[in-house]
Amino acid sequence: MEQKTIMWLNTILILVLVAAGLPLMVLTFVNSTSDTYQTFSIQGSTTVQPIVLLAEDYIENNPEFQPVDIQVAGGGSGAGVSGAGTGAVDLGMASRELDSDDLTDYPNLQAHPIAKDGIAVVVNVALTEVKNISMDELKAIYNGTFTTWDQVTGGTYAGTISVHNRNTGSGTRSTFKDLVLGDDDFRTDTTNHPGNSEMVAGVAGDVDGIGFCGLGYVDDYAANKPAAIGYNLSMGYYNASETTVANGNYPIARNLNLISNGDPTGMALWFINFILSDVGQEFVEQAGFIKLP
């Protein structure tokens, strides 16, 4: 009788998973009749973290997926890369691509894109003249060439530009440098922050402030506003949004990745497939990011 009950439950679960577009291999790891918890750890980018936390909440509070214990921690993309590389966690989270240094330290690392994101530029609402910033002007602000706001096109306010940045090891910082600064270095007088939340809070409390963050954090504070970014006037200026990132008009965009050490297996493979499923991609949108095509 017990065996028939288990088979019947599994049959129902298969039908639910097929309807939701989820991989059937979930049955290998999640069985509502088991008393043994499957534990699984993920660490890294604070940009990717909201997507994973939504998935964690859904899985851990859905009886169909019990018993599973997912442990999620931030720490930045650098922590995600090293955590996956050393085996300290099952998967890393990174808001940048793997670079040559990563692959020198951990040659078997693989990046698995789960979403797209634009890095939005935010300024304090007190900067009423600042609406459009070209990529060259943004570079000049962050490499220290521009020091006052009247150096930006159309500006008359001579206040000192207060530049906010992310801590070293941040994937958002790394991607911003690659896409905006190129071979230039960041200016040395920036106020650095450990995460997106701290970044937007810092700009909100600084009337001369400018910073950058993932799309999901732009509207966290009424004291901030997005600046439209473009290559030049003739090509147009665009706010970071799902549409402008997806169609390629917004110039500061990237993939959000889960990181495995070698080919993912077990719960790591299952979780990647879950995030890529129709249900998982809904969490991408709920977190304010862009689903993969």
Based on the domain organization, do 126 and 104 belong to the same domain? no
Spatial contact of 89 and 267, defined as CB atoms under 8 Å apart: no
Residue 264 lies in a domain: yes
E strands along 127-184, which residues?
Answer: 132-134, 162-166
In the chain, the number of structural domains is: 2
Based on the domain organization, do 35 and 77 belong to the same domain? yes
Q: In angstroms, rounded to a whole number, what is the distance separating the alpha carbons of residues 197 and 50?
A: 11
* pLDDT at 26 > cutoff 60: no
Q: In angstroms, rounded to a whole number, what is the distance separating the alpha carbons of residues 32 and 39?
A: 15
Q: Which of 39, 47, 114, 35 is nearest to 71 (CA)?
A: 39
Q: Which of 254, 283, 276, 223 is nearest to 114 (CA)?
A: 276
Based on the domain organization, do 110 and 212 belong to the same domain? no
Based on the domain organization, do 56 and 184 belong to the same domain? no
Residue 62 lies in a domain: yes
Based on the domain organization, do 55 and 174 belong to the same domain? no
Residue 200 pLDDT grade (very low, low, confident, very high; cuts 50, 70, 90): very high
Based on the domain organization, do 163 and 191 belong to the same domain? yes
Q: In angstroms, rounded to a whole number, what is the distance separating the alpha carbons of residues 95 and 254?
A: 7
* pLDDT at 10 > cutoff 90: no
Based on the domain organization, do 20 and 104 belong to the same domain? yes
Based on the domain organization, do 153 and 281 belong to the same domain? no
Contacts of residue 205, Cβ cutoff 8 Å, sequence gap at least 6:
223
Based on the domain organization, do 18 and 73 belong to the same domain? yes
Q: In angstroms, rounded to a whole number, what is the distance separating the alpha carbons of residues 78 and 129?
A: 36
Average pLDDT, integer, range 49-73: 89
Residue 35 pLDDT grade (very low, low, confident, very high; cuts 50, 70, 90): low
Based on the domain organization, do 274 and 230 belong to the same domain? no
Residue 36, pLDDT score: 60
Q: In angstroms, rounded to a whole number, what is the distance separating the alpha carbons of residues 86 and 44?
A: 13
Residue 260 lies in a domain: yes
Of 191 and 290, the structure prediction assigns the larger pLDDT to 191
Altogether, the residues listed in the chain come to a count of 293
Here the CATH number for the domain that contains residue 144 is 3.40.190.10
Residue 292 lies in a domain: no
Spatial contact of 230 and 135, defined as CB atoms under 8 Å apart: yes
Q: Which amino acid is at 74?
A: G
Residue 291 lies in a domain: no
Place of tokens 């993309």: 77
Residue 3 pLDDT grade (very low, low, confident, very high; cuts 50, 70, 90): very low
Angle (CA) 256 278 48, round 5°: 20
Residue 293 lies in a domain: no
Based on the domain organization, do 244 and 266 belong to the same domain? no
Residue 37, pLDDT score: 65
Q: Which of 121, 124, 144, 125 is nearest to 134 (CA)?
A: 121
* pLDDT at 276 > cutoff 50: yes
Q: In angstroms, rounded to a whole number, what is the distance separating the alpha carbons of residues 132 and 113?
A: 30
Based on the domain organization, do 142 and 215 belong to the same domain? yes
Residue 239 lies in a domain: yes
Residue 235 lies in a domain: yes
What's the domain range around 138? 117-253
Residue 28 pLDDT grade (very low, low, confident, very high; cuts 50, 70, 90): very low
